[in-house]
Amino acid sequence: AYASSKSRESAASALRLLGEMQKLQATQLLKYEQEFRTAYDFDRPNDNERRVVHVDFVAFTSVLKAISARCRRLEDITIRRVGKANKRYDIAEMAEKMMRKALKITDGSESDMRFVYNACLDAWAQSHVKEGALRCEILLQEMLEQDSVVKPNRVSFNTCIQGLSTLYLSSVSNVVL
């Protein structure tokens, strides 16, 4: 819901909710281990004595989408306003950190990993900061590496091109202003 919300606080709310879920999961796992004297098995949840909150890949990617959407909404704010560039950078950087966390817990399917990379690419492309195009290029290079499990698709390349074009447009608008 936060990913499609128009609220200015949607990304922060999504991050706050994720943090609460992570704390709840840690608490429930500790209680589970104390009560049943065994570790909870996330791979076979039906074999456990009871369920616990599971902060999974979907939770991380939902937050990543909310962060990316926040970058996109910031694009609508006049680029000339002081301080917005730093905020855009911070939000895109937050998206990349979230991507790294999501990649650690994914089952390794290429489509899931590509989705996460593309969402992060989108956040950097929409950030309208000069580092955005460079970060897009670096992420794309990660995907193109020989030993990479995930390979870029059209969305990946188009998003990088969009990042480059927004960098160009931002630099032209700054010269004109």
DSSP 103-144: HHHS---HHHHHHHHHHHHHHHHHT-SHHHHHHHHHHHHHHH
Task: Give the sign of the dihedral formed by CA 102, CA 105, CA 106, CA 108.
Answer: positive
pLDDT level of residue 85 (50, 70, 90 thresholds): low
pLDDT tens for 12-37 read 788 788 889 889 989 999 999 999 99
pLDDT tens for 105-141 read 777 778 888 888 998 998 888 887 888 889 999 999 9
Spatial distance between the Cα atoms of 159 and 99, rounded to a whole number of angstroms:
16
* Arithmetic mean of pLDDT over the chain: 79
* pLDDT in the model for residue 73: 57
Which of 134, 118, 122 is CA-nearest to residue 167?
134
Which of 159, 162, 164, 157 is CA-nearest to residue 134?
164
Which of 63, 64, 35 is CA-nearest to residue 50?
35
Contacts of 177 (CB under 8 A, 6+ apart): 80
DSSP class of 3:
T
